[in-house]
Amino acid sequence: MAAPQLGSRPASSFGGQWSQLGYLESAIDNQHLGHMVVCSGDYLHLTKRFGIIGASQLPLHYLLALKSSWSPITYLTRLSHEELNPYHRALGRIILLFVSLHASFYLNFFIQKSLLTKRIRDPDVILGLLAITTFLTVGTTALAWVRKKNYFLFFVIHVATSIFILPVLYFHVSHLRIYILESAIIYIILIAQRNISVRTIPNAKLTHLSNNLLSITIPLPPSYLSSNNKFKKSHPGQHIYLSLPSHSHLRLNPFTIANLPQKDNHIRLIIRSLNGTTRILSDIITSSLTFPNTASLKTTTIPLKIEGPYGSAATFPDLTTYSRIILVAGGVGATFTIPIYRHLLNLHPPNRQSKIQFIWSVKSLEDAAWAFPYLDQHAIKGMEIYISKKSSGSKQVDSPLGSQEKSEEEHDEGGEGIELQEREGLLSLPSSSSASSPPPQNLTTHPGRPDLAAIVNETFSSQPNDTHPPNKIAILVCGPAGMGAALRREVGVWVRRGREVWWHNEEFGW
């Protein structure tokens, strides 16, 4: 299974059990399991323990944010940074819980003892109030609806407060300093690692594909494809961070590598216009372009900084051992599945390529055109593309998933996938549809959205479970959150019947 998103059972279980351990530590240390708050001494001791437990988790919290194979947690668990992110968020909420209890208990004590007006002027209390305000700010701006509405605001506040909180806590009380120093060291390593791994490419090519779709082609020098370089060892489905040299602070969003860099000698990124950070990046890029009143594609060359590759694809199992592989993509989610599809076709002989099924849902065939140059006739023949809009682009075809399913745009808005959230009309560029090439031969297209229930049922029904060894099925999906949830529900029916499934849902939840 892929890394769970926050709210799924493993992440929630981790948060609940970790919180219980913290409470147990407080109770045992206080030596009163049934009636801890007996006298003033017990009350204050418990109050202090809440603060110490919260601060003691900060080094682990910072370590879970480390985007590097250097991370000991990544090394021990074989989980990439985006798979560890749900645990980073869960632990953040646990820390917020304990420091909030610490602050609330102290304020209650000061009020009960009529000490508030006196203690509120003391440096340790001032710093404590500043710390809890900072923690609450982080916790509030990290809420899902805030991240969806303005990811850039969330990111800036998150980074700024993660730096600001360390000196505040260091000077708050002396017995927290060991945890603060540990956190500071980890944070310095995190920043150093990210800056060391950044590379500048002077001649990245940006192409306008359609009204809200851009392509970035990043040529890789021979040194980047040497045996010791990350890109030579990269895996299909991984992602990179990019920024402009003059705006390096915009190195925020992950962009999935839409091709095979080792084979193609370049990196291809497909970027759809978004809210927040990517809107800023898109505005900067498009401001450097001049588009005459023509329908042809327009291209410009710009310098870019890249960091990576990262991603859980490096720890995927050997997919060639599975009897059937289903790849499902929605919109630009195919930037994740296309490289895996190409890689699997290269590993399988032609007579076994039929076991690989590729389902791709797009709003128009034009949205899929960027992938065709990378696919040969065998690959094209094995794809099924579902087009959710009529050719006129004015009306949507009814979805086989049922009326309760939201539209793709609404799915995007509700999901965590940063690349998958569309903002219509953001780029305000002329359409290039008249300049697009005709669709390739042998391409199978369907109107509407895929009937995921029928696809899943047909796949499992055609693969009996009474073979030796039993047939194993791998399912990988990247698309709007609603698509992943609907597919998971259908697959879950067969898992509960005892079928063996390896599941991965590629979602970014920063």
Of the ranges 10-19, 94-103, 237-246, 330-339, which is most confident? Answer: 94-103
CA angle 17, 51, 31 (to 5 degrees): 70
As a whole number, mean pLDDT of residues 284-292 equals 58
H-type alpha helices, 320-436? 334-347, 377-381, 408-414
Facing residues of 307 across strands?
241
CA distance 13 to 10: 5
Q: Sheet harboring 266-272: ordered strands across?
A: 254-256, 239-243, 298-310, 199-210, 213-219, 266-272
pLDDT confidence tier of residue 297, bands split at 50, 70 and 90: low
Q: What percent of the chain has pLDDT over 70?
A: 72
Residue 6 above 50 pLDDT?
A: no
Q: Given this model, what pLDDT does residue 434 score?
A: 37
Secondary structure of 403-427 as H, E, C letters: CCCCCHHHHHHHCCCHHHCCCCCCC
> What's the rounded mean pLDDT across residues 379-389?
89
Among residues 306, 312, 276, the alpha carbon closest in space to that of 416 is found at 276
Under DSSP, is residue 429 helix (H, G, I), strand (E, B) or coil? coil
164-218 pLDDT, tens digit per residue, is 999 999 999 999 999 999 999 999 988 887 778 788 888 888 887 766 777 889 9
- Beta bridge pairs of residue 199: 306
Most confidently modeled of 222-231, 385-394, 439-448? 439-448
pLDDT of residue 69: 67
pLDDT at position 153 over 60: yes
64 pLDDT above the threshold of 70: yes
Contact yes or no for 314/82 (Cβ under 8 A):
no
- How confident is the model over 113-145, as pLDDT tens digits? 999 999 999 999 999 999 999 999 999 999 888
Specify the amino acid at residue 115: L
Q: What is the pLDDT of residues 318-351, one digit of tens each?
A: 998 898 999 999 988 999 999 999 999 888 766 6
Cα torsion 488, 490, 495, 500 to 10°: value is -80
Q: Give the per-residue pLDDT at 286.
A: 63
The pTM of the full predicted model, rounded to 2 decimals, is: 0.74
